[in-house]
């Protein structure tokens, strides 16, 4: 199976490339960093350029699109928004025209709560799931929300099989020893969430390779099964979100985000907990 991984030189992309190769996939890495090397199966390309997208996606069975400006505050908002929209649209368009049947791409928990938030973040119920209303509060978050609409559109109108992965806070191997952590004294504290970077990479690979209905769009949170803070989850809800409805019997430090969709759709079960 030939998979194109964009954002291949980024934090998650680099881990994903190694993981997918270890599973036997033929992987072409693409990123705008440095210059390419056919020996390393890496091509340097700016994916805001539509023609470059067509070139690198040719012959692929799936693309996992991680290339993006990966947060707010690094560049002017307009640049972040325009870059992310251009990359996402170009990748989906090229896949549709070239017959690349599966597109997986990185959305973000920031569609539900943006960091830092401009207004109080409200949750109607817990565990949070994909049916909960979103509230993007930055151009970065907006680019992720609109990317989900693009994924939906290309599934519906072009028959692509698309997967939007709402990554939670992806914890690198270097940061892992610092968890669990104390809760910050901020009343706008967003719900705690995380996923180990190796779990995140495995989720991408599963989303690209597991059987899914042709022409479907799957939207799924990618999260650990517990929180990464030292406050029990019920206490946390009572303190920060007292009006939210409790839709499940959340115990101990259990996650406030449901992982059911990712498990049912493509078999993703996280293997890492910061408490084990």
Ligand X SMILES: NC(=O)c1ccc[n+]([C@@H]2O[C@H](COP(=O)([O-])OP(=O)(O)OC[C@H]3O[C@@H](n4cnc5c(N)ncnc54)[C@H](O)[C@@H]3O)[C@@H](O)[C@H]2O)c1
Helix (H, G, I), strand (E, B) or coil at 1: coil
Distance (Å, whole) CA 2 – CA 199: 21
Distance (Å, whole) CA 134 – CA 136: 6
Question: Judged by CB under 6 A, which of 3, 4, 5, 10 binds ligand X?
Answer: 10
State which residue, 66 or 262, has the beta carbon closest to ligand X.
66
- From the list 61-69, 156-164, 185-193, 242-250, the region that binds ligand X by CB under 6 A is 61-69
- Given a contact cutoff of 8 angstroms between Cβ atoms, the answer to whether 109 and 130 are in contact is no
* Dihedral sign of CA atoms 73, 258, 63, 133 in order: negative
Using CB atoms, what's the residue nearest to ligand X?
10
- From the list 25-33, 155-163, 176-184, 259-267, the region that binds ligand X by CB under 6 A is 25-33
> Residues 31 to 60: which contact ligand X by CB under 6 A?
31-33, 46-48
> Residues 247 to 276: which contact ligand X by CB under 6 A?
none
Residue 10: which residues within 8 A CB-CB, separation 6 or more?
31, 66, 67, 70
Smallest distance, ligand X to C-beta of residue 217, A: 17
Residue 27 β-bridge partners? 3
Distance (Å, whole) CA 115 – CA 102: 30
User: Would you count residue 70 as binding ligand X (CB under 6 A)?
Assistant: yes
Taking each helix axis as running N to C, give the angle between helix 11-22 and helix 197-209, from 0 to 180 degrees, rounded to the nearest 10. 60
User: Would you count residue 196 as binding ligand X (CB under 6 A)?
Assistant: no
Smallest distance, ligand X to C-beta of residue 147, A: 9
Smallest distance, ligand X to C-beta of residue 14, A: 8
Query: If we measure between CA atoms, which residue out of 193, 180, 189 comes closest to residue 258?
Result: 193
Question: Judged by CB under 6 A, which of 42, 126, 167, 240 binds ligand X?
Answer: 167
Distance (Å, whole) CA 119 – CA 108: 18
- From the list 26-34, 122-130, 131-139, 183-191, the region that binds ligand X by CB under 6 A is 26-34
> Residues 101 to 120: which contact ligand X by CB under 6 A?
106, 108
Distance (Å, whole) CA 144 – CA 42: 26
User: Would you count residue 13 as binding ligand X (CB under 6 A)?
Assistant: yes
Distance (Å, whole) CA 196 – CA 200: 6
Q: Say how many residues touch ligand X, by CB under 6 A.
A: 24
> Residues 83 to 102: which contact ligand X by CB under 6 A?
83, 87
Residue 28 β-bridge partners? 4
User: Would you count residue 82 as binding ligand X (CB under 6 A)?
Assistant: no
Smallest distance, ligand X to C-beta of residue 243, A: 27
Q: Which residues in this chain contact ligand X in the complex, by CB under 6 A?
A: 7, 9-13, 31-33, 46-48, 66-70, 83, 87, 106, 108, 167, 169-170
């Amino acid at each position: 199976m030939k998979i194109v991984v964009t954002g291949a030189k980024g934090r998650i992309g680099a881990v994903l490339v190694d993981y997918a190769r270890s599973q036997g996939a033929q992987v072409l890495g693409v990123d705008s960093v440095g210059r390419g090397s056919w020996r390393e199966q890496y091509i340097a390309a700016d994916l805001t350029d539509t023609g470059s997208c067509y070139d690198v996606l040719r012959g692929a069975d799936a693309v996992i699109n991680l290339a993006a400006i990966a947060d707010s505050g690094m560049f002017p908002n307009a640049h972040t928004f325009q870059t992310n929209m251009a990359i996402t649209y170009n990748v989906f368009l090229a896949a549709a025209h070239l017959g690349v049947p599966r597109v997986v791409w990185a959305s973000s928990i920031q569609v539900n709560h943006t960091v830092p938030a401009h207004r109080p973040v409200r949750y109607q119920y817990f565990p949070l799931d994909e049916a909960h209303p979103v509230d993007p509060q930055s151009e970065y978050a907006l680019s992720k929300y609109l990317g989900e609409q693009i994924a939906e559109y290309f599934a519906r109108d072009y028959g692509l099989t698309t997967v939007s992965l709402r990554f939670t806070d992806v914890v690198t191997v270097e940061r892992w020893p610092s968890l669990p952590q104390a809760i910050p004294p901020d009343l706008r504290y967003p719900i705690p969430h995380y996923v180990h970077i190796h779990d995140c990479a495995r989720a991408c690979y599963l989303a690209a390779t597991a059987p899914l209905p042709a022409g479907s769009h799957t939207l799924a949170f990618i999260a650990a099964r517990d929180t990464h803070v030292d406050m029990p989850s019920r206490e946390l809800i009572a303190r920060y979100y007292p009006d939210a409805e409790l839709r499940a019997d959340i115990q101990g430090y259990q996650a406030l985000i449901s992982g059911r969709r990712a498990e049912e759709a493509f078999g993703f079960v996280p293997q890492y907990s910061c408490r084990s």
